[in-house]
Chains A and B, each alone.
Chain A
Amino acid sequence: MASPTAAASSDFVALLKDAAVAALVALALAVPLVGLHTVDQAGELAIETRFNWVAIAVVGVFCGRLLLRYVLTFRSRREPQSAGAFVRLGAVLQPYVKWLTVAALLVAFVLPFLPFSSRYVIDLATSVLIYVMLGWGLNVVVGLAGLLDLGYVAFYAVGAYSYALFAVHFDLSFWICLPLAGLFAALFGVMLGFPVLRLRGDYLAIVTLGFGEMIRIILLNWYPVTNGPNGISGIPRPSFFGLPFDRTAAAGATSFHEVFGIEYASAHRVIFLYFLILCLALLTNVFTLRIRRLPIGRAWEALREDEIACRSLGVNPTNTKLTAFGIGAMFGGFAGSFFATRQGFISPESFTFIESATILAIVVLGGMGSQIGIVIAALFLILLPELGREFAQFRMLLFGAAMVLIMIWRPGGLLARREPTLRLHGHDPARAPPP
């Protein structure tokens, strides 16, 4: 056996070599990208060189790579089974999920009345809640039924547009338009479901991606109905069960602050919208938790696990998939109609692929099928870009890096453990399953 010092020094040489290679790559990239710089000289483009920048980049890459490799080797020697801080965080959180849920609920309910809650904070919280609701809705399709859906934003759009059209043209109230929008979205979910019944995995993802784009392009081009890229404006704002949030109500109506005898504040509407989306999101959650314990919910999960075994046990795969698509889409539609009433204006621009990707990322990061995991992931994915505004153009880079890191440290998502839908032995430790 070689002596430890000899082994360490040969390791160090290997580290140096590795860092040198990285520096060489950096040099090759930096010369054209950083070293040459075009400047405007008297109306003409001229090339300027910035080799000092190149030197900084190369030295930086060399040192960074050396440090990274050194830390990695050092750490793996110290604790071979070492899990990242994040893994430990997930494992530590696991037993407290119940308390975490209660705490999150409490915070959610009192948030608008906390001293630091400005209008900005409540608006931000409302945005997060929209994504939480969308995540919970998509979770039915992706997390439970295992159908990879890259076009979820289509149902969000269908919900928003059907709400807007019904409200603008037929003057229907929010509480009538909301179920109608959900119904329409569910209808579209089933419509998408039919052609993709035989598809799984990658193929399903491609078709749903196409479906999402189709809906967006139809919205862009169907001028007579959707008003194309100009969108629909003047969508009626929600009222508190018939009481509008206006400073001066229209003739014959009383506004919210008059009835309750309080000073008019523009925040009332914002707070009302916040509680509205909170209730809608909680409805989604309760519904999902409940339906998971019913035969249809178990069939969704079984379908995710093994479709062939499902068929042999008499589970109808067609109906099971269509209900998953339909119910997932319905919640997307609810969220869409809330979005429309909150914004007062919608256009196809709000329903691009990046929205689908964000919602899917929330579900995957949160841990497929984990309700509280989705909340944490939504907080993370929506707040991070918001907090990172100072980083300007680097914030998407930051966002990407954070996602890559989570996938390395917790490939199954933040809280990936599945809770059984029923237990025979309760929580009897003697008969508990092996860890």
Chain B
Amino acid sequence: MIQASAGESRSLLTVEHLTMRFGGLVAIDDLSFSANHREITAIIGPNGAGKTTVFNCLTGFYRPSVGRLMLHATHGPLYLERIEGYRICRAGVARTFQNIRLFPAMTVLENLIIAQHNPLMRASLFTVAGLLGLSRYRNAEQQAVEFACYWLERVNLLAQADWDAGNLPYGAQRRLEIARAMCTRPLLLCLDEPAAGLNPRESAALNALLLSIRDQEGIGILLIEHDMNVVMSISDRIVVLDYGRKIAEGTPQAIRNDPDVIRAYLGEEEDEQLPPEVEEDLQRQDD
């Protein structure tokens, strides 16, 4: 685990002038923000504001049209926009998906072992040592299993280790996806709506898990979430997007009272009826 220097939170990710165009559509327009070690940074905004697009740029699924995505890794800055998709993970960025993407026909434990593919691949000397059954590989696999068990215990899934991942209940699948991302030993964990579809109890457990990851592992968490309870109670900082532009950035307290944010969520004065989910969000904010 990477330990941040004591006390002071260091900058982990700096996004500068990120712009993503799909043909004529500008999904993200000149977005700049930063995220720190030992902090949870939430990205919120109405549907279609470009939140997931930001994640896809950060994790190498899209190549940004313009902009710089700088990850302050241990060995110096890395420019994520220049790194090929599957190498982003090695650079230290892990993610989960809005619609869970586990390997459903493989067991829970296997899911976590695949997350450690690269170190295991090196330990098996690209399969040669593994085929010969050298102890070098057997030890590495044993360590990988132990690390996987550590995370299974953290997300309370140790007893289900041999289940097919697809047979887990929904909430457990969400937790497993977070554990799988953590097994890549990331510096920055990107969570795309981790609380979607969870009941209040599961959601509270998720909050505790995310806070413990932040405090114990000392990594930065980037969070997209619609559930304002989660966002307001665990975020250290919030970035608000609307139509691909940043309209506000600050502490939860500041965001709650920001007139631009309220307008983005509630619409202009002329709007007569609010969509029900917005009304819910509004009520929660007032609580």
Which residues on A are within 8 Å of B, measured CB to CB?
287, 290-291, 293-296, 298-299, 301-302, 305-306, 308-317, 418, 420-425, 431-434
Expressed in whole angstroms, the Cα–Cα distance for A418 and B162 within the complex equals 12
What residues of chain B lie closer than 8 Å to A421, measured between beta carbons?
Answer: 110
Residues of A within 8 A of B109 (CB): 420, 422-424
Pair B106/A305 contact, Cβ less than 8 Å:
yes
Inter-chain contact B131/A290, CB cutoff 8 Å: yes
Known: A299-B114, A313-B184, A314-B87. A432 touches B162 (CB 8 A): yes
| Interface size, B (range) | 35 or more
Given A294-B127, A295-B117, A313-B114: A306 in contact with B159 (beta carbons within 8 A): no
A431 touching B159, Cβ below 8 Å: yes
- The distance from the CB of B52 to the nearest CB of chain A, in whole angstroms, is 13
Min CB gap A145→B, angstroms = 13
**In the complex, what residue of chain B is closest to A311 when comparing beta carbons?**
B86
Contacts A302-B103, A306-B101, A418-B105 hold; do A424 and B161 have CB atoms under 8 A apart?
A: yes
Question: Do the beta carbons of A312 and B59 come within 8 Å of each other?
Answer: yes
Give me 7 other A-B pairs in contact (C-beta within 8 A), A306-B102, A422-B109 excluded.
Answer: A291-B130, A291-B131, A295-B117, A298-B114, A418-B106, A420-B110, A433-B163
Which of A287, A295, A423, A432 has the most C-beta atoms of chain B within 10 angstroms of its own C-beta? A295
A285 to chain B, nearest CB (A): 14
B102, B117, B158: the one contacting A315 at CB < 8 Å is B117
Q: Tell me the complex Cα distance, A432–B267, Å.
A: 52
Among B68-76, B118-126, B202-210, B269-277, the one that faces the other chain is B118-126
**Partner among B102, B124, B167 whose Cβ is within 8 Å of the Cβ of A295:** B124
Given known contacts A298-B113, A305-B106, A306-B102, A423 and B162 CB-to-CB distance under 8 angstroms: yes
A296-B121, A298-B110 known; A306-B103 Cβ under 8 A: yes
Q: Is the CB of A313 within 8 A of B131?
A: no
Asked whether B174 is an interface residue with its Cβ less than 8 Å from the other chain, the reply is no
Q: Is the interface of B mostly helix, strand, loop or mixed?
A: helix
Q: State whether A433 and B167 are in contact (beta carbons under 8 Å apart), knowing that A302-B103, A305-B104, A420-B107 are contacts in the complex.
A: yes
Total A-B pairs, Cβ < 8 A: 124
Check if A424 sits within 8 Å of B145, measured CB to CB: yes
Interface residue stretch chosen among B5-13, B89-97, B235-243: B89-97
B166 nearest in chain A by CB position:
A305
Residue among A298, A299, A314 facing the most chain B CB atoms (10 A cut-off): A314
Q: Are A309 and B110 in contact (CB under 8 A)?
A: no
Check B85 for interface membership: any CB of A closer than 8 A: yes
Please name 17 pairs of A and B residues whose Cβ atoms are closer than 8 Å in the assembled complex, sorted by A: A293-B130, A294-B127, A296-B124, A298-B106, A301-B103, A302-B103, A302-B106, A309-B97, A312-B59, A313-B115, A314-B87, A315-B114, A421-B110, A422-B113, A424-B162, A431-B159, A431-B160
Closest A residue by C-beta to B85? A311
- List, in ascending order, chain A residues with CB within 8 A of B167's CB: 433-434
Whole-angstrom CA separation of A287 from B141 in the bound complex: 19
B188 at the interface (CB under 8 A from A): no
Q: Please state if A314 and B86 are interface contacts (CB–CB under 8 Å).
A: yes
Give Cα A291 to B131, complex, Å: 7
Given contacts A313-B184, A420-B106, contact A294 B124 (CB under 8 A): yes
Chain B hits for A295, CB < 8 A:
117, 120-121, 124, 127, 130
Chain A residues within an 8 Å CB radius of B121: 295-296
Query: Does B180 interact with chain A (Cβ within 8 Å)?
Result: yes
For residue B151, give the distance in angstroms from its CB to the closest CB of chain A.
13
Q: In whole Å, how far is A45's beta carbon from the nearest beta carbon of chain B? A: 60
Complex CA gap A293/B144 in Å reads 13
Question: Is the pair B161, A425 in contact by a Cβ cutoff of 8 Å?
Answer: yes
Complex interface: chain B residues within 8 A of A291 (CB):
127, 130-131
- Structural contact, B105 and A425, CB atoms closer than 8 A: no
Measured in the bound complex, the distance between the Cα atoms of B97 and A317 in whole Å is 18
Q: How far is the CB of A113 from chain B (nearest CB, A)?
A: 33
A299–chain B nearest beta-carbon distance, Å: 6
Docked-complex contact B114 and A302, CB < 8 angstroms? yes
Report the nearest B residue to A420, measured CB to CB. B107
Which residue in B59, B94, B117, B180 is a CB contact (below 8 Å) of A299? Answer: B117
- A309 engages B102 (CB within 8 Å): yes
Which residues of chain B are within 8 angstroms of A308 by Cβ–Cβ distance? 61, 97, 101
Taken together as a complex, chains A and B put the C-alpha atoms of A298 and B109 apart, in Å, by: 12
Distance in angstroms between the alpha carbons of A302 and B145 in the assembled complex: 17
- List residues of chain B with CB within 8 A of the CB of A309: 97, 101-103
Q: How far is the CA of A418 from the CA of B124 in the complex (A)?
A: 24
The answer on a CB contact under 8 Å between A424 and B149 is yes
Question: When the two chains form their complex, are residues B103 and A305 in contact, meaning their CB atoms are under 8 A apart?
Answer: yes
Alpha-carbon separation in the docked complex, A420 to B149 (Å): 16
7 A-B pairs with the lowest CB-CB distances in the bound complex, closest first: A314-B89, A305-B103, A294-B130, A424-B161, A309-B101, A433-B163, A295-B120
